[in-house]
Amino acid sequence: MAEPDPLTPPSDSLIADEAMALGEALPVVSALGVDETFYEKADNRWLEMWRSMVANKAALVSMFFIVFLAIVAIVGPYVTPYNPIETNMSNALKAPSAAHWFGTDQLGMDVFSRVVVGTRVSLTVGLLAVSIALTIGIALGAVSGYAGGRTDTIVMRLMDMMLAVPSILLAITLMAALGKGIDKAVVAIGLVSIPEYARLVRGQILSIKQNDYVAAARLAGNSDFRIIFRHVLPVAMSVIIVRATLGISAAILDTAALGFLGMGVQPPQAEWGDMLGRARGFIFQAPHTLLFPGLAITLTVLAFNLVGDGMRDALDPKSRIR
Amino acid sequence: MAERRHDLAEEPAVKRGEPGVLLEVKGLSTDFVMNRGTVHAAIDVSFSVREGEVLAIVGESGSGKSVTSLSVMRLLQRPGRVIAGEVLFRGRDLLELPEKEMRAIRGDQMSMIFQEPMTSLNPVFTIENQLVESIRTHMKLDRKAAFERAVRMLGLVGIPSPEKRLKDYPHQMSGGMRQRVMTAMALSCRPQLLIADEPTTALDVTIQAQILSLIGHLREKIGMAVLLITHDLGVVAETADRVVVMYCGRVVEEAASEELFDRPLHPYTLGLLRSIPSMEDTEDDEALYMVPGMVPNPLNLPAGCAFEDRCERRGARCTSEVPELYEAKGRKVRCFLYDPAGVEGLCA
Amino acid sequence: MTEPLLSIRHLSKHFPVDTDLLGRTTSVLKAVDDLSLDIYPGETFGLVGESGCGKTTVGKMLVNLYRPTSGEILYGGRDLAKLTTSERRAYHREIQLIFQDPYSSLNPRMTVGDIVSEPIRVNRLLPPDKVDDRVSYLLNCVGLSANCKNRYAHEFSGGQRQRIGIARALAMEPKLIVCDEPVSALDVSIQAQVLNLLSDLSDQFGLTYLFIAHGLNVVKHVSDRVGVMYLGRLVEVAEKRELYRNPVHPYTKALLSAIPVTNPAHRRERILLEGTVASPIDPPPGCRFCSRCYAKPEGAGGCDSEMPELVEVSPGHFVSCHLFAAEEGDQEMRALHEEAR
């Protein structure tokens, strides 16, 4: 046995309340709940989420791709090799070459330039449409979930009715009423995606409302408005943001669909879906006229989906176990 | 009653362990590997359950008591993993059995009652479906015999008009009823060992009294051994023969129930016993005794005794060295106060 | 005797369970049924009962999280329902709640400082520059250091979280705190810490507690008087020592005997209840405990048809049981009860 240490009473010992006074963060861990406790202990949820995203290769690559798209959307129109709306019939339907990287379309316009310029349209439409849907959806969902009762019934039945009609059909109907144009397309796509967000927010609020801290906020004398915005919505925010990210890709797809049907951007403005729609007659003669805008849509939508999935996985503690 | 089908004596497996010992856990260690580090949920846990005995494992949250029981049953889920040790059930190491054989043992020779009866019963099947099915698979009885047995078991656990209740779905029963159904299911195959993990924590005290007296009754009747996992010292005092106290993944004290409550040796056990509000008829208004401080972070256990910073009798040695489980007067205790080499280095 | 701080008179809370096609209620859950009790300044009143007996509902009605179906809550002699809006706000300040679950009662997105200071800021109890000092003081009162303020609740253990919840309740400068099973989610060694803290705070701030618990053992330590509830009804009320020495209601006796104790010398003979628990949904007439009662007379007498009244059996000791009916003609019943004893 080792020689015992000299008798030194632990003078700097901490008694109960002093130890607590130091505010030591020591979780009490139940045997089975071991993992949850540790996820809760993350210093910063967003930082933790970032770490988890970085570990997810697909999401990371997609994130870089989205950043790249954003840069293209901002500076693209100033650096295109050709004027994207300049026609040159003598040079129509040319295959990709050194001069025209993505070839030219049926009107002799440079496809590369048009795809680059189209990025701005697609991203803007995606973001704006989702913002409209989010703002109205959160308001409706929050009121509906928090108030409950008759308000809830009326709002949710209305949402159910909207969901019963295929969204693209509803958007087309709205466009028919509003008229053609990209601005109208944004409004139409935004409006038809409201129910999704309203339902999501309502569901979140219904479950968050059960927490005792919401009751505690009422006891503290908070108004209902303040309780929703300060105690309920912030907790639901992470889930909502994830859904919104996925929503952007849906909005981009919807824009492309409307463009394909010729109801979005009006020519000669460049928009991916519109490019597809106008080139579809030349699919066998000049497949590149469809390939590149189609690829742009696919990759963009895929990137947003992968980032959205990555965020969702990052927020779900169970999937974070390695 | 039907003969036991799994006669382990006939198994060719190497037999180890003492006679009369049903379950022997030796040096069991279980880790939870997580992003932020590894939690040693059970560290070198050893104990044994003799035939017909009730052994209680007591501890607070984070003590590793449930992890130990799940490791024994091999029901541990990711990220938990047994990294060392043996679990000898009648001399066979359960940790090395193929999953198929383990499944045969679970619910047959060994069964388990969980804390939350609602999640342990399948909500889409009637009680009859689940209970009769379990009896049929484990006892190889025909449907009629299994049904009769199910009825008898439900009657035995004190469920009125069992034929009628067999047609019920779990959600149609109260918590106490479901716990009894779970108990009936666990006991229907006459296990030699019942592992009860907080069997009464979710129940009201009056129902708890009923379930405990039922387990005690059945134990006498069919001679099964019970491994009782609980945080409630009162329950332990009233049901257990021997007690293992756990703290931060380690066994800190083991003793016969009466001795433990009569004279706890480990400072933690002592503190725990003293902090229970007494039911004595005293003229008290003095403050309750408190164990100071709190359980250390399991991700970052102290190098020495885990109880050191809450202990009133700690010494210099306690901060640097983990005490062994010393034998003292036929009992086991993990504290330097009982180091046969002497108590130097400790300030009392 | 002093005036009660709070009086509850014939309080009921019924939740509709089922409605017919026209939206009329066809089936009700009687969570609390005709409950009356007084709480005096400075005392701790323990309210005990098993799950589903309505004790938490009583607490929530006191802090206005639920609105009573009928009955009165008199605070300082005035009926809560008849108060003006501003009076009601003052009332709310004076009655606070400590929650059972230390995990769901603190907002995960707020720092401890925000949680504790919110009641002060929302109600403008102090000028903004004084708030911070007050929060530090309150945290110190509950045994936490002031530098916890910038940390989030999830960084703390269950016991510490419960302390934060207590600090938040104290921030409103309450007179009465409803403690809804404040220690039942905590480990035994931590329970003692929180119970002692509560009793220190009551001395320091002159608080009155309504202490709700499911077992008689915790209440035994903290209470001055104890009320026992069973399925929405108050079945027995007495001064603490009297109740533990002389329980008279059959249910109270069973409850006391069911507590597992570590010291064999204090073990009571266990009363095992038979029969099923009656449902609080559309409860039958008569005593709610009738289906499990072991002391009811042969043929059940009036037990299954008539609700017993709360009667005083000795000074300050009330019980609701037909064995102790008020009428003089019930000597027979009493004799039966003596036998049952």
Residue C210: which CATH number? 3.40.50.300
| pLDDT value of residue C43 | 92
What average pLDDT score do residues B229-235 get? 88
What average pLDDT score do residues C4-14 get? 91
Chain A residue numbers touching C96 (CB-CB < 8 A): 219
Three-state DSSP at B107 gives coil
Distance from CA of B74 to the nearest CA of C (A): 27
| pLDDT value of residue A62 | 92
- Joined tokens for residue B15: 């037999």
Residue A89 CB contacts under 8 Å (≥ 6 apart), including other chains: A107, A108
| pLDDT value of residue A21 | 30
Interface test with C, best of B276, B284, B300, B307 (most C CBs within 10 A): B276
pLDDT per residue as tens digits for the range C234-273: 999 999 889 988 899 999 998 888 888 777 666 667 787 8
How far is the first Cα of chain B from the last one, in angstroms, to the nearest whole number?
Answer: 58
CATH number for the A49-80+90-315 domain, one of 3.40.50.720, 1.10.3720.10, 1.20.1250.20, 1.10.12.10? 1.10.3720.10
Dihedral angle sign, alpha carbons of residues C204, C210, C211, C216: positive
What average pLDDT score do residues C148-174 get? 89
Chain A residue numbers touching B339 (CB-CB < 8 A): 1
CB C280 within 8 Å of CB C232: yes
Chains contacting C (3 or more CB pairs within 8 Å): A, B
Question: C236 in a domain, yes or no?
Answer: yes
One-letter identity of residue A179: G
Task: Indicate yes or no: CB of C263 within 8 angstroms of CB of B261.
Answer: yes
What average pLDDT score do residues A85-92 get? 78
Q: What is the DSSP letter of A197?
A: H
> If you measure CA to CA, which chain B residue comes closest to A38?
B36
| pLDDT value of residue C335 | 56
Q: How many structural domains compose chain C? A: 1
pLDDT per residue as tens digits for the range B120-134: 778 888 888 888 888
Question: C276 in a domain, yes or no?
Answer: no
Could you tell me which of B196, B28, B16, B1 has the C-alpha nearest to residue B114? B196
Q: What is the pTM of this model?
A: 0.79
**C 142-181: CB under 8 A from B:** 157, 159-160
Question: C228 in a domain, yes or no?
Answer: yes
Band of pLDDT at residue B281, cut at 50, 70 and 90: low
Interface size A-B, in CB pairs within 8 Å, comes to: 98
Residue percentage of chain A with pLDDT more than 70: 83
Chain B residue numbers touching A34 (CB-CB < 8 A): 32, 34, 39, 41, 67, 80, 298
CA angle C184, C189, C191 (to 5 degrees): 30
Q: Which domain holds residue C23?
A: 6-94+174-244
Distance of CA A95 to the CA centre of its chain: 36
Which residues lie across from B29 on neighbouring strands? B84
B161 CB within 8 Å of a chain C CB: no
**Where is pLDDT greater, at B27 or B295?**
B27
Identify the weakest region by mean pLDDT among A136-150, B8-22, B38-52.
B8-22
- Looking up tokens 């859904």, which residue turns up? A243
Which residues lie across from C152 on neighbouring strands? C111
Three-state DSSP at A113 gives helix
Question: C208 in a domain, yes or no?
Answer: yes
Residue B61 CB contacts under 8 Å (≥ 6 apart), including other chains: A28, A29, A30, A31, B231, B295, C187
Residue C90 CB contacts under 8 Å (≥ 6 apart), including other chains: none
> If you measure CA to CA, which chain A residue comes closest to C124?
A221
| pLDDT value of residue C267 | 66
- Surface-to-core class of residue A36, CB atoms within 10 Å of its CB (0-12 exposed, 13-18 middle, 19+ buried): middle
Task: Indicate yes or no: CB of B209 within 8 angstroms of CB of C257.
Answer: yes
Band of pLDDT at residue A3, cut at 50, 70 and 90: very low
Cα–Cα dist C323/C337, whole Å: 6
pLDDT per residue as tens digits for the range C28-71: 888 898 899 999 999 999 999 887 788 889 999 998 888 889 99
Question: C23 in a domain, yes or no?
Answer: yes
Distance from CA of B103 to the nearest CA of C (A): 34
Cα–Cα dist B321/B336, whole Å: 9
β C233-239/B250-256 pair status:
unpaired
What average pLDDT score do residues B99-108 get? 82
**Where is pLDDT greater, at A314 or C147?**
C147
Does the pLDDT value for residue C152 go beyond 80? yes
| pLDDT value of residue C284 | 76
For the CA atoms of B95, B101, B103, B106, the dihedral, rounded to the nearest 10 degrees, stands at -70
Cα–Cα dist B325/B3, whole Å: 41
Could you tell me which of B162, B178, B177 has the C-alpha nearest to residue B118? B178
Cα–Cα dist A277/A256, whole Å: 9
Band of pLDDT at residue C339, cut at 50, 70 and 90: low
pLDDT per residue as tens digits for the range B171-214: 887 777 788 888 888 888 778 899 988 887 767 787 788 778 87
Task: Indicate yes or no: CB of C262 within 8 angstroms of CB of B160.
Answer: no
Task: Indicate yes or no: CB of C50 within 8 angstroms of CB of B176.
Answer: no
**Where is pLDDT greater, at A104 or A22?**
A104
Average pLDDT, rounded, for chain A:
78
One-letter identity of residue A98: A
| pLDDT value of residue C328 | 45
| pLDDT value of residue B276 | 81
CB C296 within 8 Å of CB C307: no
Does the pLDDT value for residue B98 go beyond 50? yes
| pLDDT value of residue B300 | 81
| pLDDT value of residue C286 | 83
> If you measure CA to CA, which chain B residue comes closest to A43?
B36
Could you tell me which of A125, A259, A258, A119 has the C-alpha nearest to residue A183? A125
Question: C106 in a domain, yes or no?
Answer: no
pLDDT per residue as tens digits for the range A41-64: 444 566 767 777 788 888 889 999
A98 CB within 8 Å of a chain B CB: no
C42 CB within 8 Å of a chain B CB: no
CA angle B82, B83, B86 (to 5 degrees): 70
Cα–Cα dist B201/B213, whole Å: 15
Does the pLDDT value for residue C207 go beyond 90? yes
Band of pLDDT at residue B296, cut at 50, 70 and 90: confident
Instruction: Please report the DSSP string for B40-95 in residue order.
Output: EEEEEEEEEEETT-EEEEE--TTSSHHHHHHHHHT---TTEEEEEEEEEETTEEGG
CA angle B53, B55, B56 (to 5 degrees): 150
Cα–Cα dist C229/B290, whole Å: 30
> If you measure CA to CA, which chain C residue comes closest to A210?
C104
ipTM of this model? 0.82
Q: Which helix (H) or strand (E) holds B270?
A: helix B267-274
Average pLDDT, rounded, for chain C:
84
CB B13 within 8 Å of CB B2: no
Cα–Cα dist A265/A273, whole Å: 9
CB C37 within 8 Å of CB C45: yes
Interface test with C, best of B279, B280, B289, B297 (most C CBs within 10 A): B279
β C317-320/C233-239 pair status:
antiparallel
In terms of average pLDDT, the best of A265-274, B76-85, C39-48 is C39-48
Band of pLDDT at residue B229, cut at 50, 70 and 90: very high
Q: How many CB atoms lie within 10 A of CB B223?
A: 11
Distance from CA of B28 to the nearest CA of A (A): 15
CB-side neighbour CA atoms (13 Å) of B253: 25
CB B44 within 8 Å of CB B250: yes
Cα–Cα dist A217/C63, whole Å: 12
What average pLDDT score do residues A150-163 get? 91
pLDDT per residue as tens digits for the range C11-21: 999 988 777 77
What average pLDDT score do residues A178-207 get? 90
| pLDDT value of residue C334 | 55
**Could you tell me how many residues make up chain C?**
341
Cα–Cα dist B225/B192, whole Å: 6
Residue percentage of chain A with pLDDT more than 90: 19
Distance from CA of A144 to the nearest CA of C (A): 20
One-letter identity of residue C299: G
Chain C residue numbers touching A21 (CB-CB < 8 A): 140, 143-145
> If you measure CA to CA, which chain A residue comes closest to B30?
A31
pLDDT per residue as tens digits for the range A94-110: 778 877 778 787 777 88
CA angle B320, B322, B327 (to 5 degrees): 140
Band of pLDDT at residue A9, cut at 50, 70 and 90: very low
pLDDT per residue as tens digits for the range C90-144: 787 889 999 988 888 998 888 899 999 999 998 888 999 999 999 999 999 998 8
Band of pLDDT at residue B242, cut at 50, 70 and 90: very high
| pLDDT value of residue C177 | 94
Q: What is the DSSP letter of B200?
A: T
Among partner residues B62, B78, B317, which is closest to A28 by beta-carbon distance? B62
Interface size A-C, in CB pairs within 8 Å, comes to: 90
- Joined tokens for residue C72: 């009165």
Could you tell me which of C232, C280, C229 has the C-alpha nearest to residue C17? C280
Chain B residue numbers touching C190 (CB-CB < 8 A): 294
CB A74 within 8 Å of CB A87: no
What average pLDDT score do residues B223-230 get? 90
Question: C315 in a domain, yes or no?
Answer: no
- Looking up tokens 């708890």, which residue turns up? B208
Distance from CA of A4 to the nearest CA of B (A): 5
Interface test with C, best of B288, B289, B295 (most C CBs within 10 A): B288
| pLDDT value of residue B226 | 92
Cα–Cα dist A161/A146, whole Å: 21
Band of pLDDT at residue B302, cut at 50, 70 and 90: confident
Interface of B with A (CB under 8 A): 32-36, 39, 41, 60-67, 70, 78-80, 290-299, 309-310, 314-317, 319-320, 339, 341-342, 344-345, 347
Q: How many CB atoms lie within 10 A of CB A245?
A: 20
Task: Indicate yes or no: CB of B234 within 8 angstroms of CB of C261.
Answer: yes
Cα–Cα dist C172/B153, whole Å: 55
Chains contacting B (3 or more CB pairs within 8 Å): A, C
Interface of A with C (CB under 8 A): 16-17, 20-23, 25-28, 40-41, 210-213, 215-222, 226, 231, 234-235
Could you tell me which of A239, A236, A250 has the C-alpha nearest to residue A130? A250
**B 25-84: CB under 8 A from C:** 60-61
- Joined tokens for residue B114: 């969980």
Band of pLDDT at residue A17, cut at 50, 70 and 90: very low
